[in-house]
Amino acid sequence: MDIEKNKLVGVSYHETSNKGRVISPIFIIMHYDGASNATSAIHWMLDPQSRVSAHVHISRDGIVTQLAPFNIKCWHAGLSSWAGLKDLNNYSIGIELQNKGNEVYTEKQIAAAIEVCEAIVAHYPIQEILGHSDIAPGRKEDPGKQFPWMKFKSLIKKNYYGNT
């Protein structure tokens, strides 16, 4: 998977209006959508009245849909902080995984999420892959206990000082 002009090549793209200014992402934030199906989750993030969005949605079947360029602020993190920064929407790429919150993630879904994260990490100076629960503790629990963190944390090869 490759990225050109801040978009994944070869995936479905539906531009959300729920977005802001240009950003320089340094984090990836993993979420679950809480929805029973991918269509309703994507429609919700496209609806201007929802005032929520993410850069990417990945269905349980591993279908990747991009909703905004990676260098544009999406509204996925809400009230959040990490490493001395507040409002992580200004510093992060949001990935929504179709999951009600208590489901085991599918192999196809995790494989697609890893592929997307690898492309992002290769293209942007990503420092960490975090969960919504990390940046909004006590307020959010996603991506949940079922999320296979070890498969994602190893995708980051540099520490904060750029050393491998």
Positions marked catalytic: 96
Strand-strand pairing, 128-131 and 85-86: unpaired
What radius of gyration, in Å, describes the C-alpha atoms of the chain?
Answer: 14
> Using CA atoms, how far apart are residues 142 and 136, in angstroms rounded to an integer?
10
To which residue do tokens 């960490």 refer? 128
Determine the longest span between alpha carbons in the chain, in angstroms: 43
Q: Are 134 and 82 in contact (CB under 8 A)?
A: yes
Q: Are 42 and 65 in contact (CB under 8 A)?
A: yes
One-letter identity of residue 121: V
> Using CA atoms, how far apart are residues 15 and 128, in angstroms rounded to an integer?
26
| Nearest to 29, CA basis, from 110, 151, 158, 142 | 142
